[in-house]
Amino acid sequence: MEFKHKSVLLEESIDALQIRPDGIYVDGTLGGGGHSLEICRRLSADGRLIGIDQDAAAIEAAVRRLAEYQDRVTIIRCNYSEMRVQLEKLGITSVDGVILDLGVSSYQLDEANRGFTYREDVPLDMRMDQRQTFSAKDVVNGYSETELYRILRDYGEEKFAKSIARHLVSARESKTLETTGELIHVIKAAIPAKARATGGHPAKRTFQAIRIEVNRELEVLEQSLGDMADLLNDHGRICVITFHSLEDRIVKNKFRELEHPCTCPKEFPVCVCGKKPKGRVITRKPVVPSAEELEENSRAKSAKLRVFERERQGRRE
């Protein structure tokens, strides 16, 4: 199956990066290369793009899509949490911009065997990096009722988290749950019929929660944004596109913390903690897709773009 993914908020995010032709840019979620292609088109022969993705199919597609610009592109298969280490291996200590387009790609959703979709009965998987051994099957069959409840409540914001967790533990006592179809059957049994009739597919939130847990998505995001800010040259920018409230909250709070890091009590007349701002938040409110984009791409519905700019820090270490 060909890797297809329509980049969301493409123009808005590329404009927000304020690309310098001779700059160095990192696409931390390369996908099919949609954002990277637009970055490359704005780079001169002296510019450079580093594309990072953990999905082999995405990298294969991006190599083809960016072939015209291969002299200024380096593609690395890893998680974006490894960005700083991988850049150091290339001799790069600072960059002019970073873009992240989070969540699951259209390809991953449409390629049924990856196990991200609740529309097919396929083996439980949901790994973005298929070199990883830990999968959705391990979560569903190995987590305690308390752990299942926690991830369904926190990562899926699932109203029936307690009931679903209890039903999963009960169901697997007689048989290991192997497929998405078996998982959906248990979820439906745990949710009252009246509630199943509204709000989309009853398994949607559970699948989201398990996918986030399998790939450590929120943990990785929270731990990586500070590193990315430290990598930026003066006036360099981070652009992050999120697709659900949990991601957006992390980005919003982290950008705010980078802008206002002081932890001194409000009654202190001067700052004594010594924490200096790293830059400023460009998007006081997130940028959302236009009506035209929503009409063309229904998967853009929940997308939000937030932008942070590094301010002049004086001499860099």
How far is Cα 134 from Cα 224, in angstroms, rounded to an integer? 21
* Same domain as 23, residue 99: yes
Q: Domain tally for the chain? A: 2
Tell me if 129 is assigned to some domain.
yes
Q: Is residue 114 part of a domain?
A: no
Q: Are residues 100 and 225 in the same domain?
A: yes
- Asked whether residue 193 is domain-assigned, the answer is yes
pLDDT of residue 103: 78
Q: Note whether residue 82 is domain-resident.
A: yes
Q: Which residues contact 53 (CB under 8 A, 6 or more apart)?
A: 29, 30, 31, 59, 62, 75, 77
Q: What pLDDT, on a 0 to 100 scale, did the predictor assign at position 314?
A: 53
183 and 55, same domain (yes or no): no
Give the end of a domain, one of 215, 234, 255. 215
Using the structure block, give the residue that is written with the tokens 């937030």: 306
- pLDDT tens, position by position, 82-116: 999 999 999 999 999 999 999 787 777 778 789 99
| Res 316 pLDDT > 50 | no
Q: How high is the pLDDT of residue 144?
A: 98
If asked whether residues 183 and 167 sit together in one domain, one would say yes
Could you tell me if 103 and 225 lie in one domain?
Answer: yes
The pLDDT assigned to 185 comes to: 97
Looking at the structure, tell me whether residues 60 and 141 fall in a common domain: no
69 and 143, same domain (yes or no):
no
Domain finish residue from 166, 185, 215: 215
pTM, two decimals, is 0.91
Cα separation, 206 vs 157, whole angstroms: 9
Query: Angle CA(136)–CA(142)–CA(148) in degrees, nearest 5?
Result: 75
Q: Read off the pLDDT band of 60 (50, 70, 90).
A: very high
316 domain-assigned:
no
Give the structural domain span for 265: 10-107+217-310
CATH number of the domain within which 25 lies: 3.40.50.150
**Is 280 contained in some domain?**
yes
| Domain of residue 152, CATH code | 1.10.150.170
Region of 10 please: left (phi>0), alpha (psi -120 to 50) or beta.
alpha
Residues 221 and 202 placed together within one structural domain of the fold:
no
Q: Answer whether residue 5 is part of any domain.
A: no
Same structural domain for residues 99 and 127?
A: no
pLDDT in tens, 249-296: 999 999 999 999 999 998 888 889 989 999 999 999 999 999 999 998
- Residues 169-202 pLDDT 10s: 999 999 999 999 999 999 999 999 999 988 789 9
Same domain, 130 and 210: yes
Question: End of a domain among 171, 190, 215?
Answer: 215
Q: Residue written as tokens 């409540």? A: 153
Instruction: Establish if 2 belongs to a structural domain.
Output: no
